[in-house]
């Protein structure tokens, strides 16, 4: 299908705030950001991924090698011991070393954990005669975990650092600058929390105050909850602070009761830094059952600047989970031949982190969420050149996840949902806002418009589906968000790659394999 140049004229009715292409400065494909009347615009998603985008994944030197041997029936303690030895080595340029699994099979009955910075578990390949396979058995566990042994997360409700009030009446989505009530409190390089408090007025504005199921009131987000985004200060000019990464939500004083604040983020050692897993196959026994009784999961990452790449995951359930920031998941395939049972479905990818990039990932399976993003996760979250086979769907699954981009993703027998889940799942409600599908193909496209925000679908093909809120059998359909160039792919082909090249240059594309 030929690409159509993407040109946009904003109308007062649509206020799409999407992008237009120009030939500014003689360079084709420059993206000009049109804005809504309040200043919202599609954000710069190029900060997603390891190192903040456009940074090559490191190559750790091999420090330990594990080889299959006769007589060993469980390699979990063998591999863990090698990881522990490498974890005790000193850091050099952010790395300690890699544990290499030679080609062969590694039966494992328990979790393998990386809990220190700069440690890499590396197989010899995910496919072919030279692959390394972890064969799961034993009690319920995750095959590979990158996570601290103890995680002491700071509590946003118990800040020790005095907070500074944001004085802007409205901070638009996609901006990088805010205005504060005080000068001199922050400097370049400071890591800060931008926080707003959930109010009853906002809950009512979002029509999330009237959810009942089986006679019980369903709570979307509790009043008084802090919605917290972490950012790094790029520059300070007087009482104006600019961040390195745009904001992934809007901040409206009318609905936050003047309770939007910025404070220094408390120091924490919650996340593993600069560790990864790669070139490996993980195989689970068939799990033709509900995810509530499943035993085997593939990968869990809780880190900053971590990664997983070149992995095939067979028959694991809720296979890949990630939290933290600046994580790359690259060329990971999840293959599920045994169909999941039950109405409540597992999410095979749960990228619950900020600045996370799923690049060229794949899922095959039925009765699942291909990708499900959890509660109060603030992007950018990018799915680039991913494909999904089966009748599953991709969703911001619950309770206000914002700013994710589906870029050239294919879901031929399933759906992409920017959706209000209403009373589903004890009140999941609005799961997605400020999100974009760009040049995607799906069987069904559900693009709903949360009050006061936007979701955009640009250059996408598939059946547009209107829906009421779940469990409502009559009344109007929920309002549809803007479609642009529906049914025809647009130029530039990739939003993420174009933004990355414009911010960092062509070398950044080469660094991530494009």
314 and 439: one domain? yes
The structure's pTM equals 0.93
Separation of alpha carbons 216 and 486, rounded Å: 40
Looking at residue 378, its pLDDT comes to 95
Token pair of 2 as six digits: 């030929």
256 Cβ neighbours under 8 A, 6+ residues apart: 196, 197, 199, 202
403 and 504: one domain? yes
Looking at residue 11, its pLDDT comes to 30
Q: Is 124 within the bounds of a domain?
A: no
> What's the mean pLDDT when you consider all of the chain?
91
Looking at residue 257, its pLDDT comes to 86
Percent of the chain residues past pLDDT 70, beyond the cut:
92
238 and 283: one domain? no
Token pair of 239 as six digits: 């009482």
Neighbours of 288 (CB within 10 A): 11
Separation of alpha carbons 202 and 287, rounded Å: 42
Q: For residue 449, report the phi and psi dihedrals to the nearest 5 degrees.
A: -115, 100
| 495: enclosing H helix or E strand | helix 495-504
Judge whether 408 and 437 are in contact, CB under 8 Å.
Answer: no
Separation of alpha carbons 315 and 240, rounded Å: 51
Among the three residues 264, 291, 314, which one is the final residue of a domain in this structure? 264
357 and 501: one domain? yes
Looking at residue 328, its pLDDT comes to 98
Among the three residues 207, 236, 264, which one is the final residue of a domain in this structure? 264
Separation of alpha carbons 51 and 39, rounded Å: 28
pLDDT in tens, 408-460: 999 999 999 999 999 998 899 999 999 999 999 999 999 999 999 999 999 99
Separation of alpha carbons 132 and 283, rounded Å: 11
Looking at residue 426, its pLDDT comes to 86
248 and 378: one domain? no
216 Cβ neighbours under 8 A, 6+ residues apart: none
Neighbours of 298 (CB within 10 A): 30
Number of residues assigned to the chain = 514
Q: For residue 63, report the phi and psi dihedrals to the nearest 5 degrees.
A: -110, -25
Q: Is 5 within the bounds of a domain?
A: no
Give the sign of the dihedral formed by CA 426, CA 430, CA 436, CA 437. positive
Neighbours of 138 (CB within 10 A): 14
Among the three residues 212, 243, 264, which one is the final residue of a domain in this structure? 264
Looking at residue 53, its pLDDT comes to 97
Residues forming a β-bridge with 260: 196
Q: Is 1 within the bounds of a domain?
A: no
Give the count of domains, the chain: 2
Q: Is 11 within the bounds of a domain?
A: no
Neighbours of 488 (CB within 10 A): 15
Judge whether 397 and 416 are in contact, CB under 8 Å.
Answer: no
Token pair of 231 as six digits: 């950012």
Neighbours of 88 (CB within 10 A): 9
Q: Is 464 within the bounds of a domain?
A: yes
Looking at residue 158, its pLDDT comes to 63
353 and 289: one domain? yes
* Residue-number span of the structural domain to which 181 is assigned: 156-264
332 and 201: one domain? no
389 and 324: one domain? yes
**Strand 132-136, strand 276-283: pairing:** parallel
Listed residue (395, 382, 451, 442) closest to 414, CA to CA: 442
Q: Is 193 within the bounds of a domain?
A: yes
CATH code assigned at 202:
2.40.30
255 and 318: one domain? no
User: What is the distance between the terminal CA atoms of the chain, rounded to a whole angstrom?
Assistant: 21
357 and 433: one domain? yes
Looking at residue 23, its pLDDT comes to 31
Listed residue (275, 281, 274, 276) closest to 124, CA to CA: 281
Listed residue (229, 294, 235) closest to 263, CA to CA: 229
Looking at residue 421, its pLDDT comes to 93
Spacing of C-alpha 10 from chain mean position? 29
Neighbours of 362 (CB within 10 A): 18
DSSP 410-434: EEEEEEEEE-B-TTHHHH--B-EES
- Alpha carbon distances (Å) from 200 to 204, 205, 211, 259, 377: 6, 9, 14, 13, 21
Judge whether 331 and 300 are in contact, CB under 8 Å.
Answer: no
pLDDT in tens, 9-25: 333 223 444 443 333 33
340 and 370: one domain? yes
Burial letters 34-65, b for 16+ CB under 10 A, else e: bbbeeebbbbbbbbbbbbbbbbebbebeebbe
Instruction: Tell me which residues of the chain have a pLDDT lower than 70.
Output: 1-34, 154-161
Q: Is 427 within the bounds of a domain?
A: yes
230 and 328: one domain? no
Looking at residue 7, its pLDDT comes to 42
Q: Is 144 within the bounds of a domain?
A: no
Q: Which residue has the tokens 């996340």?
A: 271
Q: For residue 410, report the phi and psi dihedrals to the nearest 5 degrees.
A: -125, 125
């Amino acid at each position: 299908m030929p690409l159509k140049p993407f040109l946009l004229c904003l109308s007062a009715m649509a206020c799409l705030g999407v992008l237009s292409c120009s030939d500014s400065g003689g360079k084709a494909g420059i993206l000009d950001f049109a804005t809504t009347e309040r200043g919202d615009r599609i954000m710069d998603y190029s900060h997603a991924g390891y190192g903040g985008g456009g940074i090559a994944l490191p190559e750790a030197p091999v420090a330990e090698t594990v080889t299959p041997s006769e007589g060993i029936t469980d390699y979990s303690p063998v591999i863990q011991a090698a990881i522990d030895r490498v974890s005790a080595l000193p850091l050099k340029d952010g790395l300690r070393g890699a544990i290499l699994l030679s080609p062969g099979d590694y039966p494992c009955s328990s979790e393998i954990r990386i809990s220190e910075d700069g440690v890499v578990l590396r197989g010899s390949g995910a496919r072919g005669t030279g692959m390394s396979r972890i064969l799961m058995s034993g009690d319920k566990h995750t095959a590979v975990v990158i996570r601290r042994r103890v995680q002491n997360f700071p509590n946003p409700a118990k800040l020790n650092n005095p907070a500074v009030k944001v004085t802007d009446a409205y901070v638009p989505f996609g901006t990088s600058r805010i205005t504060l009530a005080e000068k001199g409190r922050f400097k370049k390089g400071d890591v800060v929390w931008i926080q707003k408090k959930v109010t009853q007025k906002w809950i009512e504005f979002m029509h999330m105050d009237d959810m009942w199921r089986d006679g019980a009131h369903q709570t979307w987000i509790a009043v008084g909850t802090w919605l917290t985004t972490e950012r790094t200060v790029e520059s300070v000019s007087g009482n104006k602070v600019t961040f390195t990464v745009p904001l992934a939500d809007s901040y409206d004083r009318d609905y936050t009761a003047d309770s939007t604040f910025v404070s220094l983020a408390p120091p924490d050692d919650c996340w593993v830094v600069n560790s990864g897993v790669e070139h490996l196959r993980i195989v689970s026994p068939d799990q033709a059952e509900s995810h509530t009784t499943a035993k085997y999961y593939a990968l869990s990452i809780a880190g900053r600047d971590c990664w997983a790449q070149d992995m095939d995951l067979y028959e694991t359930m809720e296979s890949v989970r990630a939290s933290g920031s600046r994580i790359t998941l690259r060329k990971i395939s999840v293959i599920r031949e045994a169909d999941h049972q039950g109405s409540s479905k597992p999410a095979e990818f749960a990228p619950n982190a900020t600045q996370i990039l799923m690049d060229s990932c794949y899922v095959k399976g039925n009765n699942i969420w291909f990708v499900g993003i959890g509660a109060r996760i603030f992007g950018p979250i990018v799915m680039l050149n991913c494909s999904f086979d089966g009748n599953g769907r991709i969703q911001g699954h619950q309770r206000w996840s914002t700013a994710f981009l589906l870029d050239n993703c294919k879901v031929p027998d399933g759906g992409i949902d920017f959706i209000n889940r209403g009373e589903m799942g004890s009140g999941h409600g609005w799961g997605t806002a400020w999100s974009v599908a760009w040049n995607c193909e799906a069987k069904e496209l559900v693009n709903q418009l949360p009050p006061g925000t936007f979701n955009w679908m640009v250059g996408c093909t598939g059946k547009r589906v209107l829906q009421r809120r779940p469990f409502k059998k009559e009344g109007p359909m929920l309002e549809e968000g803007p479609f642009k160039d529906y049914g025809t792919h647009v130029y530039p082909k990739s939003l993420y790659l174009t933004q990355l090249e414009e911010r960092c240059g062509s070398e950044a594309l080469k660094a991530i394999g494009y």
